[in-house]
Amino acid sequence: MNLATPYLGLELRNPLIASSSSQNGDIDHLRRLDDAGIGAVVLPSVFQEQLEAQQSDFESLLAQQPNHSPEAESYLPPIDSGPYGLGPEHHLALVMRAKRELSVPVIASLNGSSLSGWTRYAALLEEAGADALELNIYFVPVDIEEPGTAVEQRYLDVLGAVRQTVKIPVAVKMPPYFSSVGHMAKRLVEAGADGLVLFNRYLQPDINLTRMELSSELVLSRPGEMRLPLMWTALLAGRIEASLAASTGVENVDQVLKYLLAGADTVMLAAAILRHGPTYVRTLLEDLEAWLESRRLESLAQIRGNMSWSRLKKHDNYIRANYLHLLETFTSAHNA
């Protein structure tokens, strides 16, 4: 069965990618994902806050460029310390070690919210051997004086700064909160994004009624959350010149298939690996092959994008017209 998948100009053995997560900071975990057949891995993000808090370490690494970290590989991240507490040099060591020990592409991840010097860290990740970079521009536009155009420009500026720094492919993990998601996707691609991850999953706070305070617990996704990225994957597939990675809500092969049918090049998963462990990747791949075999299909190309906007002749289900129809059907079914 041919599951080979191009993503960001890289050749993946299959479309499954381990999404950026803290677990991916552990080299043993990464090795298990590789053994289970994962197509590529995204390392835990290096955060703007980390780089700014450890400015002097970061500056001295930059100053030593191109031979910035001759000893970096010996500073391997201890298994018991989380990746987000580690300094700039440790992340480079993780990239180097992952590159040395894994058979699949290693994508580094940078996470920040505004344009400043931290974006220069991208060059160090490239030099450490990252095959590609995922850029997660995560911020909540709380300033109600800031217009949407300024918010959009911020994304483009940060991407532009990173793009100027590296030659490796860059994917933007974008949020779904733009007034014109498709147009923003197009502008990101025009500004140099080789791929888009649809979407970044923002962690909105809840209110704890007992303690009468805000709570920010990390709740893992459920498949129901895939509808928004599924829709935008389908709307954008074949219409922009970039790879598309669908992300959020993958629990079993059904979600993988839906994302591929919508037109995703690759499908990312974090929660499913956390819930079931890295060997679950093997199960997903077997289930994917079994599904294709049961329909006498030989490659993913035969299904990829078949449900996308650009392939379908009827678009009712993707646009507003369908809303009224659904309400009518629902109401008559419940009144019957």
Which span (33-41, 74-82, 204-212, 218-226) binds ligand FMN, by CB under 6 A? 218-226
Note whether 87 binds ligand FMN by CB under 6 A: no
Q: How many CB atoms lie within 10 A of CB 143?
A: 9
Cis peptide bond prior to 83, omega within 30° of 0: no
Return the number of the residue (14 or 20) whose C-beta is nearest ligand FMN: 20
Q: Which tokens go with 290?
A: 């079994």
Note whether 91 binds ligand FMN by CB under 6 A: no
Return the number of the residue (113 or 317) whose C-beta is nearest ligand FMN: 113
The backbone torsions φ and ψ at residue 93, rounded to the nearest 5 degrees and listed phi first, read: -65, -40
Q: Which of 1, 3, 13, 22 binds ligand FMN (CB under 6 A)?
A: 22
Least Å from the CB of residue 174 to ligand FMN: 11
Distance CA 80, CA 121 (A): 25
Q: Which of 48, 50, 119, 136 binds ligand FMN (CB under 6 A)?
A: 136
Which span (68-76, 117-125, 241-249, 258-266) binds ligand FMN, by CB under 6 A? 241-249
Tokens 């992952």, residue located: 98
Q: Which of 5, 14, 45, 243 binds ligand FMN (CB under 6 A)?
A: 45
Distance CA 151, CA 195 (A): 20
DSSP-derived secondary structure for 15-32? SEEE-S-GGGG-HHHHHH
Distance CA 98, CA 83 (A): 14
- Show contacts with ligand FMN in window 251-290 (CB under 6 A): 269-271, 274
Return the number of the residue (5 or 310) whose C-beta is nearest ligand FMN: 5
- Show contacts with ligand FMN in window 100-129 (CB under 6 A): 109, 111
- Show contacts with ligand FMN in window 314-333 (CB under 6 A): none
Distance CA 122, CA 95 (A): 12
Distance CA 213, CA 77 (A): 35
Note whether 247 binds ligand FMN by CB under 6 A: yes
Tokens 């950026």, residue located: 20
Q: Which of 249, 263, 278, 305 binds ligand FMN (CB under 6 A)?
A: 249
Q: Which of 248, 265, 292, 309 binds ligand FMN (CB under 6 A)?
A: 248
Taking CB atoms within 8 Å and a gap of at least 24, the contacts of 312-321 are 318/231, 318/234, 318/235
